[in-house]
Amino acid sequence: MLYLFYTAALVAISALQTTASIPNWDIIYQSLNTNFVQGATDDITITYLIGTYRDYNIELYTNDCETAITGMSSLNVIENISRDYELDPLHDQLELIIDIDIAEIVSSNIWDDINKTLEFCSVVQLLSGGDIIKDE
């Protein structure tokens, strides 16, 4: 019993020291919502939590997370960052709002004609001085 208490106390102390001295490089996926209504500009919304005040980069690829998306003349991504320090002082909310020309989906390389699904990969990178520190 003493051993378990000691381990728990050690973990708690380590967590406190780590939180204070190491910056937050979290990338935490939260949700994906769709709104494929005629004329909508928010067809897909993806939400992440990322470490506060981090520089970031976002890339969209096919489902292999490497191949560029082709076959679509317009694929617009709007990025929104929101901060609520009272709710979560360690994370900013990053929201990607993707506007897709629905008429072009079936001619793109992100459309799976067999399963009739749209498949793509969003890569979020956290940067420091232009270097990628973490990506998801």
Q: What is the pLDDT of residue 2?
A: 33
Of the two residues 1 and 94, the one the predictor is more confident about is 94
Q: Scanning the structure block, which residue is given the tokens 């990338």?
A: 27
Q: Where are the alpha helices (DSSP H) in the chain?
A: 2-21
pLDDT at 21 exceeding the cut of 70: no
Instruction: Dump pLDDT digits (tens) for 58-84.
Output: 999 999 999 999 998 888 999 999 988
- State how far the alpha carbon of 47 is from the alpha carbons of 34, 41, 79, in Å: 12, 16, 10
CB atoms near residue 44 (< 10 Å) = 20
- Cβ 51 vs Cβ 88: under 8 Å: no
pTM: 0.78
- Cβ 98 vs Cβ 45: under 8 Å: yes
Instruction: For residues 103 and 12, give the distance between their C-alpha atoms in angstroms, rounded to a whole number.
Output: 54
